[in-house]
Structure 1
Amino acid sequence: MATEIIMPKAGMDMVEGTVIKWLVQEGDKVSTGDPILEILTDKVNMEVEAETSGTILKILAEEGEVLPVMTVIGYMGDEGEAVPDAPEAPKVEEAPKEQSEETPKEEPKKAEAPATTSEKGTDSYDVVVLGAGPGGYVAAIRAAQLGAKTAIIEKQYFGGTCLNVGCIPTKTLVKTAEILHQIEHGAHRGIVVDKPTIDMAKVKKNKDNVVKTLTGGIGALLKSNKVAIYDGLGTVEKDNKVTITEGKDQGKVVSFDKLILATGSVPVIPPIPGLDLPGIMTSTEILDLTEVPKELIIIGGGVIGSEFATIYNAFGTKVTIVEMMPKLIPNMDEDLSKELEKQFKKAGIEVATGAKVEKVEQAGNGFAVTVSGSKEEVFQAEKVLVAIGRKANFAGLENMDIKKDRAVWVDEYLQTSRDHVYAVGDLTGKIQLAHLASAQGMVAAENAMGARKKMDYRFVPGCVYTIPEIGSVGLTEEEARRSHDVEIGRFPMSVSGKAIAMGETEGFVKIITDKRYGEILGVHMVGPSATELAAEAVAVMSLEGTIEELSNMIHAHPTISETIMEAAHDVHGRSIHLPKK
């Protein structure tokens, strides 16, 4: 008799699942334990394995189909064996809860959340993490790895801002922009194509699929490390307790020995008249556009604004950036800012620096933005994006007696003013970067479990995913000159063999060193692969390598990384591939 393949029940609360991808076809032979399809539950992607050996006789469920648990989605058995008529799928609401005892063999046991009872009482944990962003989920996993009974509370989605409405979706869009950029500049290579068009709905769908894949992966990682997951807004109360005040687990109370706060940040909306008008976007709303706007005004020329300027300029939008400070990406080295502004203007992006937005008004089907500076101007556009930064998210922390102002105060061990409470990520008011939040998450978890590890902020790389890319680590030239006698080496991308072969010759590498000791104080890059090359600078600087040691390192040829070696040689005027100074 043919064996049924069913939609498994992966957890007590699961009532339906989505068929993501069949890994087999009808007629394929499989062995017990072979993965045969991938499904998506409410928060986790997982593979379903074959219960027995045999032949895939019939596939009933199509990819993308959402079905109740226990639904027959296919049959396997002996080759040529008859397949019964497919039973009608039960309604989701009729799936009885007692079916949780009938979980099929292919369901991975370690995907189950651990029971929330212990000797300390119901819903009691060694470590509770509030927020499942890049700082929070990393902290939870590290704490669990160290033996802590751990829970994580998340009100919205795994991965936080970065994965859902930040780094990952924007980088997915940047990749689309890069492809368009390559097509536009392909003619000189002999590649002649018609001008491409943008199907923004498909662009958004691709972005959403990438996000869904990664959020599901984080859920699987948490469950595999036996981290209990609570769905809702956690509000911290007295007596080491967190009450779930919103969401699916509303009303539950979780107690803890140690608490790690990782509630992240939210976009800043400045008190400018008109920014409350319908249609004004933040970096969250712009990710849901399904049509390419004709014009876009971006208020804020920092990292977020600059990346969206690159994206929509490549999509064919007329982009204008309005930045109140005298330069773009104000916190980075001035030479990087100048080069970025030059490349933006070359690409057709209008840049207004030293310009303050006075008001925003409705104008027909779009908006009029009045700007003051050297002169008063009015810019008009179909859409307006507010991208001036983010602020700490204190939701759920209102009742906490901890030291906080614009951010939660932490010491060098990431402890708050309460010894048993730690904080990580944007909430701490440090550099707002996902990779820093993850690093803080690991340090905080280790310290919560008894270590005394200091957080080191000296070599945190900064990346801007524009065209061309920007990578930076360490002191800017201005910062370095305040406390050091400096020497500087530069090497332009226009001399790099690999960059010339790629047709991406814009930009440079700049290395700032201490003249007396040869200490590398800062490395700043504009050009192809600059965000990847930042890792080399971090490695050398973290290991206290000198400029002499960096210049003596053999770099593969032809690579963009050679530009770092050449810039290191140039510190002492010894670059082989630059004319003698």
Structure 2
Amino acid sequence: MATAIIMPKAGMAMEEGTIVKWLKAEGDKVEQGEPLLEILTDKVNMEVEAQVTGTLIKILHQEGDVVSVTKTIGYLGAAGEKVDIPEKAEVQNKSEAQLTAKGKAEPDEAKAAPVPHEGTGVSADSEPYDVVVIGGGPAGYVAAIKASQLGGKVALVEKDIVGGTCLNRGCIPTKTYLKNAEILETIHHAAQRGILLSSTDYTIDMDKIVAVKNDVVKTLTNGVAGLLRSYGVKTYKGVGKVTKDKKVTVDGKETIEARKIILAGGSKPSRIKIPGMESSLVLTSDEILDLKEIPEHLAIIGGGVIGIELATVFRAYGSQVTIIEMENRLAPMMDQEISGELARVAEEKHIKVMTGTKLEKLQEKNGKLLINTDKGELQADKALLSIGRVADLEAIEDLDLELVRGKIKVNDKMETSMEGIYAAGDMNGKWMLAHAAFKMGEVAAANAMGKEEKVNLAYVPSCLYTMPEVGSVGLTEEAARAKYDIAIGRFSFGANGRALASGEGAGFVKVIIDRKYGEILGVHILGPAAAEMINEAASLMSMEITAHEVSEIIHGHPTFSEAFMEAVADSLKKCIHKLRPSS
């Protein structure tokens, strides 16, 4: 007799779960206790195990479906066994936005997603959406969820997969690769800590590496899709464009009406007009993350965040790496002291850095890429073009929106020059970072729903996931010195107990303060857990906590974050764990 597989209730507050992926296919033999599928709850990802031994004879709900707890999602039984299944599997998909004033859910029929009229290409739902969001990246999906939380009827148009560049081709994939690099570095340093391995030989399986990366990405994109579904956001697949009469078309076929529109189309890799740049051996950051072979020599054009991170990855994988940067230092937007230390670390890892170098032309020869610069020629197997990103303005080709240097001009409310249209994330170019896009998306949605909110981007942290990591927030020393009478505090991780115990004593924390009032103007960290530590600095700065107050906060010991507190104290000449300065 068939046994039902149900959505488990993994906690008192859990009401529904999202199916992330099935680990077995229909017809597969399953042993009792063996994982069947992975689900996402509001708290955690977890595997659902088979309660009996048998064959997976039917899957009722697919990946991305949001299902109420205790509902049947599939059946186990004997091979070939038939089971009576209702014609339609019930999927719980209600949000706060779908509740009536009395607190009861409206009938499913009343809240069904709009269905296009056959042959008209116009939504059959006579009531327009409160908000239509174009783009399902960090700004877009957050805006859609926020608008729904505020009671709006919301649609989202996405031409690819929800999650945007960050989730699919940027932040998350690169961090998955960087973890591999971290593991390899740990193997190399094991002997220094008295861990003597019988062999340190290893091989790199790029097929497996890419598969793991894709698995992580799929888990998160399915999670985003489930979140949107749980909030009742209708998702349209296709290219969204805004018409002159402020309607949204999907692939030029279907038209959606909305009271307000949020543009969140993101960005695309920037390209430069250099002879030979069209070569198939030249990859963008989008393409290199699916590379199935390790280049013997990888040239990286651009020494910004993406270039430095992927240099770290492919050097760890065994490639010779050369970074070509037109500016006179790596990471030119960061504090100069951080840039200098990054160059030193790159040299230590045998990454060749060519700063102040102008690219002239590329040419293929015998399956290799010849790269000509104003400082000579080098040969590589592949080149990565990572000179930044530009706003993707495909959605507004028919609009006369005001632009600034190729990006949509907005105010602090994310309002564009056209009433009722907002722009958040990379399209406005204020901060081309996913976490900044999250906040901009929230603010755009709140204002589209009639609120009055502004975004403050003064304390957005920047992170660089090299080894060691970099975290920065606020003004660089150069910028602060031009405007204030400053004091600078420094503390080395070489004097931090947790860092030394972990074998991670390289790097420092640098704090810049206004000497008159003790205001913290900038914090720059290169060292272990810098991308985590910088959030404390950003939080304190946004709350206008002074250096005098921070120096009195008790930090746990031993922790990496003690180094931040010590650097703040040093800016006031109060640092306890630093040698007394000579008079």
TM bracket (short chain): 0.7 to 0.9
Aligned to 1:471, the other structure's residue is in SS state strand
CA apart distance, 1:75: 2.8
Structure 2 counterpart of 1:202, one-letter code: K
Is 1:435 the equivalent of 2:435? Answer: yes
Matches within 5 A, 1:133-144: 133-144=137-148
1:200 to 177, 196, 206: 206
Is 1:181 the equivalent of 2:171? Answer: no
Matching residue of 2:494 = 494
CA contact (8 A) 1:237 1:400 kept: yes
CA apart distance, 1:576: 1.4
Structure 1 counterpart of 2:436, one-letter code: L
Distance in 2, matches of 1:505 and 1:72, equals: 51
Matching residue of 1:19 = 22
**Relative to structure 1, is the Cα distance of residues 281 and 2 closer, same or farther in structure 2, using a 3 angstrom cutoff?**
closer
Distance in 1, matches of 2:377 and 2:268, equals: 28
Matching residue of 2:484 = 484
CA apart distance, 1:419: 1.9
Aligned to 1:569, the other structure's residue is in SS state helix
Matching residue of 1:220 = 226
CA apart distance, 1:549: 0.7
CA contact (8 A) 2:93 2:229 kept: no
CA contact (8 A) 1:36 1:47 kept: no
Is 1:147 the equivalent of 2:131? Answer: no
Distance in 1, matches of 2:124 and 2:274, equals: 51
Matching residue of 2:395 = 396
Deviation track 1:502-532 (CA, whole Å, cap 9, x = no partner) reads 1111110000000000000000000000000
Matching residue of 2:69 = none
Deviation track 1:267-295 (CA, whole Å, cap 9, x = no partner) reads 01101111111221000110011111111
Structure 2 counterpart of 1:151, one-letter code: A
CA apart distance, 1:49: 9.1
Aligned to 1:516, the other structure's residue is in SS state coil
Matching residue of 1:511 = 511
Is 1:555 the equivalent of 2:539? Answer: no
Structure 1 counterpart of 2:403, one-letter code: K
Deviation track 1:144-201 (CA, whole Å, cap 9, x = no partner) reads 0000100000000110000000000000001111111111111111223313221111
Aligned to 1:452, the other structure's residue is in SS state coil
2:129 to 109, 114, 125: 125
**Relative to structure 1, is the Cα distance of residues 253 and 472 closer, same or farther in structure 2, using a 3 angstrom cutoff?**
same
**Relative to structure 1, is the Cα distance of residues 469 and 17 closer, same or farther in structure 2, using a 3 angstrom cutoff?**
closer
CA contact (8 A) 2:22 2:36 kept: no
CA apart distance, 1:539: 1.0
Distance in 2, matches of 1:325 and 1:351, equals: 12
Deviation track 1:536-563 (CA, whole Å, cap 9, x = no partner) reads 0011101111001111110111110000
Matching residue of 2:165 = 161
Aligned to 2:151, the other structure's residue is in SS state coil
Matching residue of 1:32 = none
TM-score, with structure 2 as normaliser: 0.85
1:304 to 306, 319, 341: 306
TM-score, with structure 1 as normaliser: 0.85
Matching residue of 1:338 = 340
Distance in 2, matches of 1:150 and 1:566, equals: 48
Is 1:425 the equivalent of 2:425? Answer: yes
Structure 1 counterpart of 2:56, one-letter code: L
Structure 2 unpaired stretches of 5+ = 8-18, 66-71, 96-107, 117-122
Distance in 2, matches of 1:6 and 1:189, equals: 48
CA apart distance, 1:449: 1.1
Matches within 5 A, 1:306-455: 306-372=308-374, 376-405=375-404, 406-455=406-455
Deviation track 1:358-378 (CA, whole Å, cap 9, x = no partner) reads 111113221111111xxx211
Distance in 1, matches of 2:178 and 2:206, equals: 13
**Relative to structure 1, is the Cα distance of residues 478 and 322 closer, same or farther in structure 2, using a 3 angstrom cutoff?**
same
CA contact (8 A) 2:295 2:319 kept: yes
**Relative to structure 1, is the Cα distance of residues 61 and 345 closer, same or farther in structure 2, using a 3 angstrom cutoff?**
farther
Matching residue of 2:89 = 104
Distance in 1, matches of 2:23 and 2:112, equals: 26
CA contact (8 A) 1:294 1:317 kept: yes
Matching residue of 1:580 = 580
**Relative to structure 1, is the Cα distance of residues 37 and 103 closer, same or farther in structure 2, using a 3 angstrom cutoff?**
farther
Aligned to 2:294, the other structure's residue is in SS state coil
Distance in 1, matches of 2:529 and 2:21, equals: 37
Percent identity at matched positions? 45
Distance in 1, matches of 2:390 and 2:147, equals: 27
Structure 2 counterpart of 1:19, one-letter code: W
CA contact (8 A) 1:114 1:226 kept: no
CA apart distance, 1:412: 1.5
CA contact (8 A) 1:297 1:383 kept: yes
Aligned to 1:184, the other structure's residue is in SS state helix
**Relative to structure 1, is the Cα distance of residues 87 and 553 closer, same or farther in structure 2, using a 3 angstrom cutoff?**
same
1:85 to 80, 84, 105: 80
CA contact (8 A) 2:185 2:316 kept: yes
CA apart distance, 1:122: 3.5
Matches within 5 A, 1:44-63: 56=52, 58-60=54-56
**Relative to structure 1, is the Cα distance of residues 27 and 397 closer, same or farther in structure 2, using a 3 angstrom cutoff?**
same
Deviation track 1:237-256 (CA, whole Å, cap 9, x = no partner) reads 132211111xxxx6221010
Matching residue of 2:569 = 569
CA contact (8 A) 2:30 2:56 kept: no
CA apart distance, 1:86: 3.8
Deviation track 1:207-263 (CA, whole Å, cap 9, x = no partner) reads 000000000000000000000110100111132211111xxxx62210100000000
Structure 1 counterpart of 2:381, one-letter code: E
Structure 2 counterpart of 1:552, one-letter code: E
Distance in 2, matches of 1:554 and 1:152, equals: 46
Distance in 1, matches of 2:474 and 2:357, equals: 28
Distance in 2, matches of 1:370 and 1:318, equals: 18
CA contact (8 A) 2:20 2:38 kept: no
Distance in 1, matches of 2:47 and 2:413, equals: 42
1:279 to 278, 281, 289: 281
CA apart distance, 1:109: 4.0
Deviation track 1:7-33 (CA, whole Å, cap 9, x = no partner) reads 9xxxxxxxx9962369x964579xxxx
Structure 1 unpaired stretches of 5+ = 8-15, 30-34, 77-82, 89-98
Distance in 2, matches of 1:416 and 1:164, equals: 27
CA apart distance, 1:73: 6.5
Distance in 2, matches of 1:38 and 1:467, equals: 32
Distance in 2, matches of 1:312 and 1:196, equals: 15
CA contact (8 A) 1:362 1:368 kept: yes
CA contact (8 A) 1:498 1:559 kept: yes
Matching residue of 1:94 = none
CA apart distance, 1:297: 0.4
CA contact (8 A) 1:20 1:39 kept: no
Distance in 2, matches of 1:525 and 1:122, equals: 54
CA contact (8 A) 1:325 1:353 kept: yes
Matching residue of 1:92 = none
Matching residue of 2:105 = none
Structure 2 counterpart of 1:116, one-letter code: P
CA apart distance, 1:61: 6.3
**Relative to structure 1, is the Cα distance of residues 320 and 262 closer, same or farther in structure 2, using a 3 angstrom cutoff?**
same
CA contact (8 A) 1:72 1:86 kept: no
Distance in 2, matches of 1:18 and 1:495, equals: 46
